[in-house]
């Protein structure tokens, strides 16, 4: 690591999170860890920690990502959640990848290839996202018939994706009804993996009786989708309004709180590379955008928007003290500090003393976006027991 900016990823925390989730929600046979985009940008080498924690299947968004996971683990089953270009079925077979069938057309083309090799497939249902999957029951039934007649393809699973958590709306209920309607004429006892819920729908609804699997995404990375009880006057008023709305629209109740103990495992650090004195009235950064209000010091920190970090992050921690970010550029941010700050001091951007959810609030984004916006220019250092491993992308 030549440039002293890095994301510290604690693989042990991720393992413990998965253990905690799979122990509490122990009524499933398949725990599918979603590791899209290098495991929500935590770094692909965490997959073995997730497996040790209890994931017995993994899911990626593309074949490229699946091959990266296969490189880390030769045996774990891997589902690619999006359709794969049919030209690359040789790679799918060679690396034992499970594929998603999202339409009758795709299935027919795949059957036509007559690959003469076993391929495991999952059908994807579209129950409200209007993104991918079978929407029409007749098409699904025809696909089910075709796949049963084919000797190469094995229908191992069926899944769908909920558009909402159903806390304040009717869409979760509607989607679940649509799942039931679509699957009405399919013998589910013949299909081992039926997975519909994602992190937040898992914790906020009773188990779907016929589900045998669940896809764990953001929850593994430390985010509990439960709605916190807000005992303020406004909070209580909101709860009353919500109850009234749920009753009026006959929406099933959600499970609001749970006792899952989860931690985030991603902390972003950098270093001070320069400190300079500034006097009242001087300007800092591009467009002279920040005016110094009284004599102070500016610390320059070796991370910028090319790493995914901007002035809007608001503040950083240096030597246990919080300081405001006053300017940003491609590779550096400038922080208004006092004279205690020195070149080479460590800077926390977020993850430990600055909570991920607080940065998200300031940026008006959610944790998915925050993790995914830290670019691969930032090396990842993984902690596992006493071992530290650096990964450069
Ligand atoms: C199809 C599918 N399943 C599961 C997930 C995981 O979602 P979450 O992180 O909300 O659990 C995603 C995330 O994008 C997804 O697209």
Do 244 and 289 fall within a single domain? no
SS3 146: helix
Residue linked to tokens 């006053």: 326
User: Does residue 376 sit within a domain?
Assistant: no
pLDDT at residue 227 tops 80: no
| Span from the CA of 34 to the centroid of ligand 1 (angstroms) | 7
Do 103 and 205 fall within a single domain? yes
Q: How confident is the model at residue 127 (pLDDT cuts 50, 70, 90)?
A: very high
Do 28 and 88 fall within a single domain? yes
Do 273 and 223 fall within a single domain? no
How large is the average pLDDT for residues 37-64? 97
| Span from the CA of 223 to the centroid of ligand 1 (angstroms) | 13
How large is the average pLDDT for residues 92-112? 98
Q: How many domains does the chain have?
A: 2
CATH for 341: 2.40.37.10
User: Does residue 90 sit within a domain?
Assistant: yes
- Residue 198 Cβ inside 6 Å of ligand 1? The answer reads yes
pLDDT at residue 250 tops 90: no
- Residue 203 Cβ inside 6 Å of ligand 1? The answer reads no
Do 53 and 200 fall within a single domain? yes
The share of the chain scoring above pLDDT 90, in percent, equals 88
Do 213 and 282 fall within a single domain? no
How large is the average pLDDT for residues 89-109? 98
SS3 51: helix
Which residue from 132, 162, 175, 217 has its CB within 8 A of the most atoms of ligand 1, so it is best to mutate? 217
Q: Which structural domain, as residue segments, surrounds residue 317?
A: 266-354
Q: How confident is the model at residue 285 (pLDDT cuts 50, 70, 90)?
A: very high
Do 48 and 195 fall within a single domain? yes
CATH for 178: 3.20.20.10
Q: Identify the pLDDT of residue 357.
A: 93
pLDDT digits (tens, 9 = 90+) for 159-175: 999 999 988 889 999 99
Q: Identify the pLDDT of residue 2.
A: 77
d(CA 120, CA 142): 18
Q: Identify the pLDDT of residue 231.
A: 85
pLDDT digits (tens, 9 = 90+) for 303-349: 999 999 999 999 999 999 999 999 999 999 999 999 999 999 999 99
- Residue 161 Cβ inside 6 Å of ligand 1? The answer reads yes
Do 85 and 184 fall within a single domain? yes
pLDDT at residue 256 tops 80: no
Do 80 and 204 fall within a single domain? yes
- Residue 217 Cβ inside 6 Å of ligand 1? The answer reads yes
| Span from the CA of 100 to the centroid of ligand 1 (angstroms) | 14
Answer yes or no: are the C-beta atoms of 323 and 316 closer than 8 Å: yes
User: Does residue 180 sit within a domain?
Assistant: yes
Backbone dihedral region of 41: left (phi > 0), alpha (psi from -120 to 50 degrees) or beta?
Answer: left
């Amino acid at each position: 690591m030549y440039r002293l900016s890095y994301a510290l990823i604690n693989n042990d925390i991720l393992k413990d999170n998965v253990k905690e989730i799979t122990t509490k929600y122990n009524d499933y046979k398949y725990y599918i860890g979603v590791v899209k985009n290098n495991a929500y940008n935590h770094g692909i080498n965490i997959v073995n920690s997730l497996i040790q924690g209890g994931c017995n299947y993994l899911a990626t968004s593309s074949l490229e990502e699946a091959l990266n996971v296969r490189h880390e683990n030769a045996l774990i089953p891997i589902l690619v959640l999006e359709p794969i270009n049919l030209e690359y079925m040789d790679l799918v077979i060679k690396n034992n990848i499970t594929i998603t069938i999202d339409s009758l057309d795709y299935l027919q083309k795949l059957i036509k290839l007559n690959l003469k090799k076993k391929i495991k497939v999952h059908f994807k249902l579209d129950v409200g996202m209007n993104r991918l999957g079978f929407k029409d029951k007749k098409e699904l039934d025809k696909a089910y018939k075709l796949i049963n007649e084919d000797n190469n393809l094995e229908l191992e699973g069926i899944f769908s994706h909920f558009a909402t958590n159903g806390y304040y709306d009717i869409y979760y209920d509607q989607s679940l009804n649509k799942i039931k309607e679509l699957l009405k004429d399919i013998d589910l006892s013949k299909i081992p993996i039926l997975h519909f819920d994602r992190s937040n729908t898992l914790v906020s609804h009773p188990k779907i009786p016929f589900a045998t699997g669940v896809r764990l995404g953001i929850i593994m990375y430390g985010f509990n989708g439960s709605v916190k009880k807000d005992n303020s006057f406004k909070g209580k008023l909101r709860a009353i309004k919500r109850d009234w709305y749920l009753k009026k629209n006959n929406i099933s109740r959600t499970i609001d709180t749970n006792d899952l103990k989860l931690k985030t495992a991603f902390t972003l650090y950098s270093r001070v590379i320069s400190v300079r004195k500034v006097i009242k009235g001087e300007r800092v950064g591009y467009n002279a955008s920040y005016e110094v209000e009284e004599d102070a010091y500016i610390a320059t920190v070796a991370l910028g928007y090319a790493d995914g970090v901007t002035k809007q992050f608001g503040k950083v921690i240096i030597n246990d003290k919080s300081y405001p970010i006053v300017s940003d550029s491609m590779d550096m941010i400038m922080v208004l500090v006092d004279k205690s700050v020195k070149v080479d001091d460590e800077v926390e951007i977020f993850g430990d003393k600055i909570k991920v959810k607080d940065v998200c609030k300031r940026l008006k984004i959610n944790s998915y976006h925050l993790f995914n916006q830290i670019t691969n220019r930032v090396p990842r250092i993984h902690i596992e027991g006493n071992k530290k491993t650096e990964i450069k992308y």
